[in-house]
Amino acid sequence: MSTKIRRTPQQWQNLVDDQATSNLSARQYCDQHQLNYQLFCKWRKQSSERAPAPLIDLSSLVGEPANQIWDIELELGGGMALRLKRG
């Protein structure tokens, strides 16, 4: 009889992060680490839904010459986007 291991959300996040850098498919990673594939996929999906967007440093745009052209679009989710454009 197998013993179920209860993991914290942080432990699942660590596993999801580790799999992402492992060069293994999710199925291979789960087989190798004796994880339930469906449960792993559930946590991976939850992780991607709440993962913060990467920080974009816009400070380099401050003080740029007025003739500098840039176009930035931020997808906010739900079909909404914020577009910043100069030039």
Q: What is the pTM of this model?
A: 0.55
Q: Who has greater pLDDT, 60 or 33?
A: 33
* Listed residue (55, 14, 56) closest to 35, CA to CA: 14
Whether the Cβ atoms of residue 9 and residue 44 lie closer than 8 Å to each other: no
Q: What spatial distance separates the first Cα and last Cα of the chain, rounded to whole Å?
A: 67
Domain ranges of the chain: 9-50
Mean pLDDT of 39-43: 94
Q: Who has greater pLDDT, 77 or 38?
A: 38
Non-local CB neighbours of 36 within 8 Å, separated by 6+ positions: 30
Share of the chain above pLDDT 90, in %: 41
